C-alpha cells in the first residue's frame, strides 16, 4: 500500500450496514468503486463520486483493497469465488476484507483460495448495528495477516472507530459469533425476567428506572432497552432479525462441532426461529423479546417522552466494577 496517497477502495454490498460504511469512507476522502446486486442501492454513493462496477471482479480489478458486507454465506461465497467474483479480478499483493458474519469453515476456504492467488484475505466482521455504522461507531474484529491489517488501519478507522486484530484467520468470525451469541442469550434472559416483574404488578418504566441503578444497570446492561423494547418500536431495524438469527445459528453449529454445550444459546435460537416463522425477518432483532410477553398476556409499551424524562432527571450512576 502506498503511504503518500489514499488507496482506491472497492466496496461490495450496500445494504443497511454496507451503505453507511461506504458513505463514511467517502466522507473520509477515499475514492470508491462500488457494486451491489441492486444498482439503485449505489445511487447516493455514485452521486457523491463513486464509480460503479458491474461485477465483483470489476471491483477488484479497479481497486487496491476490497471490502464486502453481505447478508449470508451463499452471497459471501458467490461474491468471492464465482466466475465474475472478487477472486477472478484480484491481483497479487491486493487485500480483501470480508466484513460479514460468515462461518469459520467458509473463511478458511476463502483465505486459502486468495492465498493461492498471492492476495490477502482477512475476516473482519463488525458489530454495532445500523446506527453504529452511520456514526462510524463500530467494533471491527480482524483475523489474518497483522501486517495487512496494520497497513489498512486508516481505511478501517474510517468505517469503525474500534478496529482490533484478534488473531489468525478465522479469529474475527469466532469473536463475532461469541459476541452475538452472548448478546442474544442475555437478551432472552432479560425479556423473560423483565416480564416477570411486569406480570407481578411493576410499572415497566419504574422497573427499568430502578434496575438501571442496580449493580448490573451501572454496567449499562439495560440501557439498550430504551430504543426498541420499552417503546415497542420494532419496525425500523437497527439489526434485522434474520441477520441475528443467522449469527446465533452459526454459533450453535460451531458449538456442536466442537462439543461445547450451548444450552442458553439454543433457547435464544428457539425464540428467534419462532419469530422467523411468524414472518418477522425484517423487523428489529429485539422484536423477539415480545414473545415472553405474549406467553403471559403482558404488553409492554412506554411513551418515548416518558423515557426521555427519566433520562434527563436520572442519569445512570457511575459504573460499578464490583458485584453487588
Identify the CA nearest to 271 among candidates 250, 254, 301, 295: 295
**Residue 192 — φ and ψ, nearest 5°?**
-70, -45
Q: Do 84 and 66 meet the contact criterion of CB atoms below 8 Å apart? A: no
Q: In which residue are the cell numbers 419496525 written? A: 235
H runs (alpha helix) in the chain: 16-27, 43-47, 56-62, 73-81, 86-89, 104-116, 129-135, 146-151, 153-159, 171-199, 204-211, 241-258, 263-277, 291-296, 304-313
| Cα dihedral 111→140→36→32 (10° resolution) | -100
37 is catalytic: no
Assigned C-alpha cell, 231:
417503546
Angle at 269 between CA 265 and CA 272, to 5 degrees: 140
Rg, Å, the chain Cα set: 21
Cα dihedral sign for 224, 228, 234, 236? negative
The residue from 157, 176, 199, 322 that is catalytic is 176
Strand 126-127 and strand 139-143: the pairing is: antiparallel
Burial class of residue 148 in the structure, from the number of CB atoms within 10 Å of its CB (0-12 exposed, 13-18 middle, 19+ buried): buried
Active site residues: 176
Amino acid at each position: 500500500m502506498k503511504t503518500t496517497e489514499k488507496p482506491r477502495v472497492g466496496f461490495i454490498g450496500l445494504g443497511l450496514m454496507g451503505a453507511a460504511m461506504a458513505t463514511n469512507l467517502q466522507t473520509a476522502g477515499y475514492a470508491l468503486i462500488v457494486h451491489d446486486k441492486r444498482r439503485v442501492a449505489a445511487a447516493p454513493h455514485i452521486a457523491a463520486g463513486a464509480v460503479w462496477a458491474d461485477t465483483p471482479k470489476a471491483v477488484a480489478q479497479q481497486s487496491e483493497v476490497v471490502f464486502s458486507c453481505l447478508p449470508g454465506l451463499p452471497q459471501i461465497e458467490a461474491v468471492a469465488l464465482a466466475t465474475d467474483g472478487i477472486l477472478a479480478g484480484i491481483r497479487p499483493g491486493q487485500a480483501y476484507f470480508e466484513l460479514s458474519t460468515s462461518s469459520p469453515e467458509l473463511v478458511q476456504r476463502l483465505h486459502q483460495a486468495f492465498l493461492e492467488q498471492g492476495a490477502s484475505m482477512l475476516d473482519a466482521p463488525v458489530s454495532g448495528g445500523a446506527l453504529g455504522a452511520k456514526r462510524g461507531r463500530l467494533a471491527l474484529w480482524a483475523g489474518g495477516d497483522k501486517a495487512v491489517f496494520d497497513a489498512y488501519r486508516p481505511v478501517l478507522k474510517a468505517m469503525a472507530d474500534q478496529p482490533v486484530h484478534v488473531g489468525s484467520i478465522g479469529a474475527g468470525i469466532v469473536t463475532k459469533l461469541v459476541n452475538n451469541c452472548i448478546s442474544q442469550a442475555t437478551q432472552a434472559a432479560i425479556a423473560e425476567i423483565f416480564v416477570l416483574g411486569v406480570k407481578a404488578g411493576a410499572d415497566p418504566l419504574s422497573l427499568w428506572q430502578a434496575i438501571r441503578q442496580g449493580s448490573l444497570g451501572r454496567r449499562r446492561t439495560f440501557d439498550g432497552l430504551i430504543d426498541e423494547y420499552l417503546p415497542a418500536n420494532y419496525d425500523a431495524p437497527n439489526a434485522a432479525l434474520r441477520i441475528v438469527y443467522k449469527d446465533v445459528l452459526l454459533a450453535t453449529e460451531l458449538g456442536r462441532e466442537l462439543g461445547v454445550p450451548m444450552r442458553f444459546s439454543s433457547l435464544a435460537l428457539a425464540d428467534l426461529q419462532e419469530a422467523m416463522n411468524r414472518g418477522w425477518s425484517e423487523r428489529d432483532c429485539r422484536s423477539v423479546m415480545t414473545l415472553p410477553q405474549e406467553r403471559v398476556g403482558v404488553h409492554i409499551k412506554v411513551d418515548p417522552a416518558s423515557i426521555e424524562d427519566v433520562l434527563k432527571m436520572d442519569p445512570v450512576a457511575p459504573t460499578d466494577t464490583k458485584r453487588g
